[in-house]
A and B are shown apart, each in its own frame.
Chain A
Amino acid sequence: MYPETVTTIDDKGIMLSSKIYCQLKQVTDLQKINPSNNISIKGRIIGYDDLLEELKLDQCIIQ
């Protein structure tokens, strides 16, 4: 596995390396993100969004 960096966090999900958007199943999972820690994320790939040029995942959970 290649580690990705969290580039942005919004109210519904997180962006990895400015190209993968992970929409969270529960927004409370956002509290699990700390600047220094590594997280592991699991979700469903729904497709490539060619409007924003990013890969989109939904129902993501942070383990």
Chain B
Amino acid sequence: MKKIALILFLLISFSTFAQKYFTKTGNTQFKASVEAFEPVEATNNSTTAIININSGEIASLLFVKAFNFRVALMQEHFNENYMDSSTFPKATFKGSISDFNFSNISSTEKKLLLKGILTVRGVEKEIETLATFSKKEDKLLMVTSFGVKPEDFNIKIPKIVSSKIAGTINISLAYEFIKKK
């Protein structure tokens, strides 16, 4: 009886002891370029993301203002006209990875289903995509991409520029998680 109690206790304490991996400098990129026009793309190198390796839950946050464009004027338009980054400074993602098992991830890439809610400009959208996981030394790497539409988040593109901005915006992520102490 004592043994069973001890095993149970160990199991419970194992499952409640959440091990987390995180990054503060994740790379989030979006591309909305149309061929033959000026590239509409930007990179955010300060995305925060946390992953609970016991449950496979993931949460991430980025500041819209921290997206860097090659053209400064485009960055200004992005923040002021399209994203309203002073009213909605953050974009977040909360979700989970199906069948996430930390010990099964090795240096060879493994594709797993990532599902969750992306919130941009206060509007929520469900996202489902395949994400590639691998381990490099003591880091956990996650790479994925998915497409969204400006109208999903009530972003109105003026007619005059609509031909220069892609209908589907491709968002790609590359995060290097390290163990949270």
A6 to B94 alpha-carbon distance, docked (Å): 31
- Chain A positions within 8 Å of B59 at CB level: 51
On whether the beta carbons of A49 and B48 are closer than 8 Å, the reply is yes
On whether the beta carbons of B46 and A46 are closer than 8 Å, the reply is yes
Interface members, chain B 4-60 (any A CB < 8 Å): 22, 24-25, 45-46, 48-50, 59-60
How many residue pairs link A and B with beta carbons under 8 A? The number is 40
Q: Is A1 part of the binding interface, using a Cβ–Cβ cutoff of 8 Å?
A: no
On whether the beta carbons of B61 and A50 are closer than 8 Å, the reply is yes
- Chain B positions within 8 Å of A21 at CB level: 24
**Contact among A13, A46, A50 for B25, CB-based, below 8 A:** A13
On whether the beta carbons of A52 and B48 are closer than 8 Å, the reply is yes
When C-beta atoms are compared, the residue in chain B nearest to A47 turns out to be B63
On whether the beta carbons of A23 and B22 are closer than 8 Å, the reply is no
- A: interface residue count bin: 10 to 19
Interface size on B, residues (CB 8 A): 17
- Chain A positions within 8 Å of B49 at CB level: 51
Q: Is B135 part of the binding interface, using a Cβ–Cβ cutoff of 8 Å?
A: no
Q: Is B147 part of the binding interface, using a Cβ–Cβ cutoff of 8 Å?
A: no
Q: A13-B24, A51-B50, A52-B24 are in contact. Are A23 and B61 (CB under 8 A)?
A: no
On whether the beta carbons of A23 and B63 are closer than 8 Å, the reply is no
On whether the beta carbons of B61 and A51 are closer than 8 Å, the reply is yes
A50 to B65 alpha-carbon distance, docked (Å): 16
A56 to B90 alpha-carbon distance, docked (Å): 12
- Chain A, 28-63, contact with B by CB distance < 8 Å: what is the 0/1 string? 000000000000000000110111100010100000
19 residue pairs from A and B, CB less than 8 Å apart: A10-B24, A12-B24, A12-B25, A13-B24, A23-B24, A46-B66, A47-B65, A49-B24, A49-B48, A49-B61, A51-B48, A51-B49, A51-B59, A51-B61, A52-B48, A52-B50, A58-B45, A58-B46, A58-B66
Q: A47-B90, A56-B24 are in contact. List 9 more A-B contacts (CB 8 A).
A: A10-B178, A12-B25, A46-B63, A46-B65, A49-B24, A51-B49, A51-B50, A56-B63, A58-B45
Residue positions of B touching A, CB distance < 8 A? 22, 24-25, 45-46, 48-50, 59-61, 63, 65-66, 89-90, 178
